[in-house]
Structure 1
Amino acid sequence: VQTKPFPFSLPWDDASATATSVAALNPAPLTSQHKLVAKNGHFHDATGRRVRFVGMSIGAAAAFPRKADAPKIAARLHKYGVNLVRLHHLDAQWATPNLFNSKGRYTQTTALDPQSLDLLEFFIAQLKKNGIYVDLNLHVSREWLPGDGFPAGKLPEFGKVVAYFHPKAIALQKQFATQILTHKNPYTGLPLAADPVLALVELNNEDSLIGSAGQAEALPLAIRKPLEDGWRAYLAKKYGVTVALKKAWSGGSSLGQELLKRGSGAWIAEMQEQTKLLVTSVSAAGQTNAPTGPVLHLIPEKIDTTNWHLQLHQTGLTLETGKAYTVSFVAKASAPRPLYINTRLHQAPWSMVGLDASVGLDTQWKRYSFTFVANGSVVPGHCRLSLLLGDSTAAVFLGEWSLRPGSGGTALASGQSIELENIALGQVSGSPAGVDYTHYLMTVEAAYCRALKAAIAQTGCTASVACSQASYGGIAGAYRESKLDWVDMHAYWQHPSFPGAAFDPNNYRIENTSMLSVSSGAGVLDGLAMHRVSGKPFTVSEYDHPAPSEYSAEMTPLIFAYAAWQDWDGVFLFAYETDRSDKITGFFDQQLHPAKLGFLPAAAALFLRGDLVPASLTISLTVPVSKVPGLKGLGTDYAFWSLAQTRFVQGSLKNAPEKADATAFLTHRASIRFESDPGPLALGIQNLLPPTLSAPGFVWDHKEQQVRVHSPASKALIGKLGGKATRVPGFVAEVAPSARNFAVITLTARDGKPTEESAALLLTALDKAENPGLTWNAERTFAAGAWRSGPTQLDVPTATLQIVTKQLNVTVWALDGTGQRVKQVPATLENGTLTLAIGPEYQTLWYEIVAKS
């Protein structure tokens, strides 16, 4: 019996109609009857059929494949059940081609490159032919350039933040939307605006003015002026005169005892990898608006591309859950730069405990203040205040640092007033001034959404529109998206970090653990679920467990089972490249990764057919719209379900959770609803449906480190399976012990019938997949040569399986990388139970189980 890994690759152009094909799940080609609309919380086509998405992000150069390759790529996607492609990074400077220049970097973005557009439109036509919708991303990484009429000056990467408020940037985005939506595709005969292939439009990928407000302060004056003018007009309209503003901003509770220590010795520098920080004390005497007392001079002598690799902490702090605190300081920099500040645990799991903000320092002294509520797993004596300095080598000067209980008021800087129209941009905070600033930024984002959506509508396009991902802006981001057509999120389990250059394939770190190894909670899944807005379709348009993780096999069946359990509308894996290769080519490779793509036939069947009935227990968080700015200002990102101000409304229901913690998101379907007048609920969580007595189809077992999925036609066993028998109704897997005891096994009825009645089953079983020749470090957080060699190799479990069946005569086949039968597998059928043994001797992750006629 072979026990070593064996080569197994998935051909890049395979579209064969074999046992691994689930092409029949999606109608092809797309016609007018398949045009989508968002209604009643889900997507439906013109026939009334509900449409769920198994999606792939395809971006940058991969979105412009050669015409000889495009039909093959689209057909392969169709085979694996993919019915939506997210067209991403079409505007990337670093990609060749991109939509503005087929040869690479561009100097203007007012005209589309004809060659690039031709390749893109041909690819879209092939997707349409194969029943695959398109999600069009309008602004992802487009830069704002002098060639487009922008003044020279350092702007945020990928044009972020500025996209929301600068009139020129908004005009360029409207122009681009009009250009790409109205151009007649010569291969379909339709402009994209009128083509049923276009399902979704995203305005602005991973961007929030509210969530990145600190960057706005550091923008060149000519760029930030429209934002400043709008802020001053907002204050004038709300307060009229400075006296009224000062009275409102002076409110808040009195501040308690100082929690921070004075003196430079009170701070601890953290320098990871090769970074270096020099900390000295200087005098600021005589400088305009300078702080009193000691001033720290922080000189980042060496940085890398990861800002948290260079930090300064005060540790040993005690914060109380649900209590308000105010952090304030006076600072400037030797050159404009960002400064990130947060409060978090000073021990594992190092989670945030309330404050996560940034400011844009310039060369003038300025006072900054943030009021937040401590939340999360606060451990007395083990919290810290941290400054993140690894973004820039510009020196920082810091004085009058303070952390005190309470939510004190905010004083206007000397000489500033409504009448003089010179009040500076503020900070997103829980203070009265911070709440005003948060609400102002919300109005700016809302105006941006209205303007772009109107421009899209003018083209005749009726595709569903979202702005950005709901977590970008915290609860204010979720509210922003609630006013649009659908809600979207992103998540990565253990995204790599890079101690050197960003995305260096040869210098990275990953944590490399299973998501099922967490002692409680739901990994990254609860962070997704809490952003689903009631009454709106919900998708996750980027999801991945990046390579070379040794636990990538859990990714695809886990996310699609959870999405079905929560009754979501789509998951798009990130990302599908179009290389011709026989190996895993990078961190986010989907198309050539057997541990990810190999489970897609099973996951697509489960999700698209609706095999797994959604959770019958349902909870919803009701939020008054008027409270949103204040909740965001208090720093409640990813914590707004568990605030002290949130009360659970249990009523007479039994089995209701005591609180909406991460475990509740595993047992309940979750949503958030924004209401102008929620009545007696105020800010509260309620059970919407009574529990049922039936066994749940999705079980996350923290003790066993397993997820078990059961539905009539689809079953999955994921996690620590070795050395024990693991079962769901109708299916038992006894996996032999191994060094990792990790395995993922799915059983799928290809004909959609209950597995015990099905005459055609697909069995998928895998431990891990990786390229040969990689060399792990001692901690298994870095593998040298991870992408060097091929073909990819598989480790598969040795197991004895029992499948309940009503069939009388069954044959089992081991399949190759296209799903063709290559070897018969011995099996016995006695008393309605099929028993078979699988293992590395069959050199596959796929088995076809078929009844003889």
Structure 2
Amino acid sequence: MTRKAFIRGTAHALRLCWFALVCCLACGPRGVFSADFYKISIDQDHLAGIVDFSDLARGPLRDSDRLIACGARLCRAGERGAEPKPVRLFGVTLAFDSVFPSDDQADRLIARFHRLGINLVRLHSFDTVPSSRLTTAESILLDGPFPSFNPESLRRLRRFIAKLAQGGIYVDLNLHVAYTFRPAIDKVPFAFPGDDFMPEDSKPVHLFDERMIGLQKEYARRLLRALAPVSRNAVAIVEISNESSLVYEWSIGRLGDDVKGYYRDELVGKWLAFQSRAGEAANPTRHLPERDGPEPSALKNRFVAFLTELDQSYLDGMRETIKSELPGVLVVGTQMAYGGYQNLISNGNMDLMDSHVYVDHYGFTGKFFDWGTWYIHDVSAFDDGLESFRNVALYRESGKPYIVSEYNQPWPNRQAAEIIPLMATIASLQDWSAIVFYDYSSTRADFDATTPREFVLDTDFTKLPTVGPMAWLYRTFQIAPAAAAVDVALSSGARLTASRDGVTDDSARFIDALRQGATRTGLSLRLGVSLSTDESYSVRANDERPQTVGAQVSFGDGRQRMVLDARSAIGVVGRVAPGVEHAFGSFQLKLSDRARGVVTFIAMARDGEPIERSRRMLWVLPGYTLGSKPGTSPPEPERLAAVSQGIVQRAKDLVKSDGSPRRLRLPSTPRTAGFGALAAYAPVWMERVECTITLRHAFSHVTAYPLDGRGRRLAALPLRDAQLRDGVLTVHLQADGQELTPWYELVFD
């Protein structure tokens, strides 16, 4: 073939490929997924029997229950002279006005939390939208000059924290989350004369403006003093500033957009003073370097060091104020991805390090959180080989307690049953000290809701069946921390490179590239990072070989699923080919030919015995959930459909980092504006996940009971679907003719 002929042929082939791609994109997915569904509802106020995990609850919090940092873990202080005992916190977030329940609501919530095995409640975003209404408890703040406290909100918050303490549940209190300073009212400087411009949530000017910092310290002092009578042992953690740092704003290229006018001049003044202290007074620059600007790397590095110093000064000052009011509390600065590896410096004096992780967070084709334009990609955590979790693991500072104060895979993602088992199991392997689901509720109205909505766990029937079992697994140390560990020691050059490269939630990619072909730092290893004074990159590791023989947890088939094979708990989460029996350690699973090929199956021995000798087991098998299509009679599931979009956007989606070409949403429009806008219509439907489980068991007889939405036994499965012969247990779940349910009680004799 001649060169010209080759070029002509190649060009023709490319045109054909482009034509095929355009046709494919123009057609797009039709949005109808084949699956069987059954109606589902879970009544948290009346959970009983084997699905009630109140046995994990402790009595009232005493001085001996106060939490302390003990090396890389959290511990209870214990009695005087006694050895502190490690503790893990399995938590949920209450956000916005749900932080201020009535007494009756507080009692209901605490009873629910006990049944779900929850021992930490994170109180978040209660500084949002100050209100003029004294009695409605919408925010901790009134709309007067900051900080003007709402007395009714304070009263409710005090009583709620007291009740949580009485119920043995710790509190994580968030200070600055979303309050936006108002120059005319709060007497902070105007960015421009007469112009009320202020960046959203005041980020990042609240981190360096002296007037704002002083007001935040006053807010912290007055709030903690108001809560002092009930907070001694209950308020275990205080977070200073949610998802914010100057380094983060610079590394994502947003610093110049948010810091303007007076505040830019203020920042320039501090930058000049920094240069003077560094001995650069002879040739200082007023210019603020940009991450993508033409400035030399050396100048950018000095600017990042300057921003890091400001971040640290703010956090250290706030920490001192907090400790002066509540000496024993553990303080978090901000989350690691919001500042990256420079946070090892700026947050260096904090008691805990923290991260957030989301799988398939909502996207919006319009304004952020405009629910009329929402979509999801419907991806699994396994689609990128659990990279989201590796990113979080490689932000853990070695030797210091680590928490994940937000995680979710929001409804109506069809793989969302995986998120809580994944998080609890990986956090156990990595020996993290707390995991907190975002959120349990975003408004008090959620407490009485009956259908799924947004991030809310309260009515997410896909996730709720997994909560109790995973709380038990995580809190009782059923999964031993990985024996092998890797500590990545990062020099200042490496950290500054990460900032210049804009490394935020992609730390694993950065570390892999830095290690130049070394063995992939996988989740079967305990991962961590630390500061190095040696400018030559180094890795310290006691053993980089993951456990393989007798492992309690494994990640198989190219990290497309997780297998749990522990003493008293087994399960598989992820992708499994239908119609084929798969051997997973001590058990086998075969999905029905008509299944999607996605499964979350967990079995646990409620009597604490080994699985093969347990007399009483809880099995959990949830599918994804959908609401009903509005206006249909009889009701039918409202399925996800492709978002209408142009060919160019679909082509761009083909190369998104999550690998998904799809943008999906429910066809019905959101119900309202604000909280609860994205909510399902009743009744709620759960995907049927028909499968057969086989395992060895020591007893000779089994009775398998499907359980209703309160955990009560329904008619036992027929003998053909649940039998134990010659030491082999075989159970056919969610088969034709059965009561369909996401959980089962198995009794052996």
TM-score of the alignment, normalized to the shorter chain, above 0.5: yes
State the partner residue of 2:18: none
Deviation, 1:703, is: 4.3
Count the aligned residue pairs.
653
- The aligned runs of 1:526-565 (5 Å cut-off) are 526-565=390-429
Contact 1:18–1:820 (8 Å) recurs in 2: yes
Contact 1:767–1:795 (8 Å) recurs in 2: yes
Q: 1:683 to 1:39 in 2, by over 3 A?
A: same
Match of 2:233, SS state, is: coil
Deviation, 1:41, is: 0.6
Confirm whether residue 736 of structure 1 aligns to residue 592 of structure 2: yes
Deviation, 1:165, is: 0.7
Deviation, 1:129, is: 2.4
Q: Deviations over 1:72-95 (max 9, x none)?
A: 111101111111111000101178
State the partner residue of 1:694: 549
State the partner residue of 2:747: 850
State the partner residue of 1:25: 56
- The aligned runs of 1:244-255 (5 Å cut-off) are none
State the partner residue of 2:485: 618
Q: Deviations over 1:455-477 (max 9, x none)?
A: 11111331111110011112112
1:769 to 621, 625, 644: 625
Q: Deviations over 1:461-514 (max 9, x none)?
A: 311111100111121124333431111101111111111243233421110122
Deviation, 1:136, is: 0.5
Contact 1:708–1:716 (8 Å) recurs in 2: yes
- The aligned runs of 1:683-832 (5 Å cut-off) are 683-689=537-543, 691=545, 692=547, 694-703=549-558, 705-721=560-576, 722-773=578-629, 774-778=638-642, 781-785=664-668, 787-826=679-718, 827-832=722-727
- The aligned runs of 1:445-594 (5 Å cut-off) are 445-518=311-384, 521-577=385-441, 578=444, 579-581=446-448, 583-594=450-461
Contact 2:601–2:619 (8 Å) recurs in 1: yes
Q: 1:588 to 1:96 in 2, by over 3 A?
A: farther
- The aligned runs of 1:192-591 (5 Å cut-off) are 192=231, 195-213=232-250, 215-218=254-257, 219-243=259-283, 370=291, 410=296, 431-518=297-384, 521-577=385-441, 578=444, 579-581=446-448, 583-591=450-458
Percent identical across equivalent pairs? 24
Match of 1:68, SS state, is: helix
Q: 1:631 to 1:707 in 2, by over 3 A?
A: closer
Amino acid across the alignment from 1:844: T
Amino acid across the alignment from 2:435: V
Amino acid across the alignment from 2:536: A
Q: 1:494 to 1:660 in 2, by over 3 A?
A: farther
1:150 to 173, 182, 188: 188
Q: 1:792 to 1:171 in 2, by over 3 A?
A: same
d(CA) in 2 for partners of 1:226, 1:594: 50
State the partner residue of 2:532: 675
Confirm whether residue 110 of structure 1 aligns to residue 147 of structure 2: yes
State the partner residue of 1:8: 40
d(CA) in 2 for partners of 1:144, 1:582: 33
State the partner residue of 2:15: none
State the partner residue of 1:416: none
d(CA) in 2 for partners of 1:751, 1:180: 44
Amino acid across the alignment from 1:575: D
Deviation, 1:636, is: 4.1
d(CA) in 1 for partners of 2:704, 2:468: 18
What is the root-mean-square deviation in Å for CA atoms of aligned residues?
2.7
1:59 to 79, 91, 95: 95
Confirm whether residue 68 of structure 1 aligns to residue 104 of structure 2: yes
Q: 1:804 to 1:435 in 2, by over 3 A?
A: same
d(CA) in 1 for partners of 2:370, 2:513: 44
Contact 1:715–1:728 (8 Å) recurs in 2: no
Q: 1:463 to 1:233 in 2, by over 3 A?
A: same
Gaps of 5+ in 2: 1-34, 79-83, 191-195, 630-637, 643-661, 669-677
Contact 2:93–2:121 (8 Å) recurs in 1: yes
Worse-matched range after superposition: 633-642 or 773-782: 633-642
Amino acid across the alignment from 1:40: G
Q: Deviations over 1:314-355 (max 9, x none)?
A: xxxxxxxxxxxxxxxxxxxxxxxxxxxxxxxxxxxxxxxxxx
d(CA) in 2 for partners of 1:620, 1:98: 52
State the partner residue of 1:427: none
d(CA) in 1 for partners of 2:241, 2:510: 29
Deviation, 1:672, is: 0.2
d(CA) in 1 for partners of 2:331, 2:132: 28
d(CA) in 1 for partners of 2:102, 2:414: 33
Q: What TM-score do the two structures reach when normalised by structure 1?
A: 0.72
Contact 1:594–1:769 (8 Å) recurs in 2: yes
Amino acid across the alignment from 1:19: I
State the partner residue of 1:413: none
Q: Deviations over 1:278-316 (max 9, x none)?
A: xxxxxxxxxxxxxxxxxxxxxxxxxxxxxxxxxxxxxxx
d(CA) in 2 for partners of 1:665, 1:850: 38
d(CA) in 2 for partners of 1:717, 1:439: 45
Match of 2:266, SS state, is: helix
Confirm whether residue 121 of structure 1 aligns to residue 4 of structure 2: no
Q: 1:525 to 1:645 in 2, by over 3 A?
A: closer
d(CA) in 1 for partners of 2:217, 2:696: 58
Higher helix proportion (structure 1 or 2): 2
d(CA) in 2 for partners of 1:729, 1:175: 57
Match of 1:589, SS state, is: coil
Amino acid across the alignment from 1:239: G
d(CA) in 1 for partners of 2:512, 2:422: 32
Q: 1:457 to 1:495 in 2, by over 3 A?
A: same
Gaps of 5+ in 1: 250-365, 372-401, 403-407, 411-430, 649-657
Q: 1:13 to 1:109 in 2, by over 3 A?
A: farther
Amino acid across the alignment from 1:143: T
Q: Deviations over 1:417-444 (max 9, x none)?
A: xxxxxxxxxxxxxx11111111011111
Contact 2:289–2:300 (8 Å) recurs in 1: no
Contact 1:471–1:478 (8 Å) recurs in 2: no
Deviation, 1:631, is: 4.4
Q: 1:597 to 1:215 in 2, by over 3 A?
A: same
Deviation, 1:760, is: 1.8
Q: What TM-score do the two structures reach when normalised by structure 2?
A: 0.82
Higher strand proportion (structure 1 or 2): 1
State the partner residue of 1:175: 218
State the partner residue of 2:729: 834
Q: 1:367 to 1:760 in 2, by over 3 A?
A: closer
2:177 to 140, 143, 150: 140
d(CA) in 2 for partners of 1:837, 1:819: 20
Confirm whether residue 597 of structure 1 aligns to residue 459 of structure 2: no
d(CA) in 1 for partners of 2:410, 2:306: 38
d(CA) in 2 for partners of 1:235, 1:500: 42
State the partner residue of 2:9: none
Contact 2:512–2:518 (8 Å) recurs in 1: no
Q: 1:583 to 1:191 in 2, by over 3 A?
A: closer
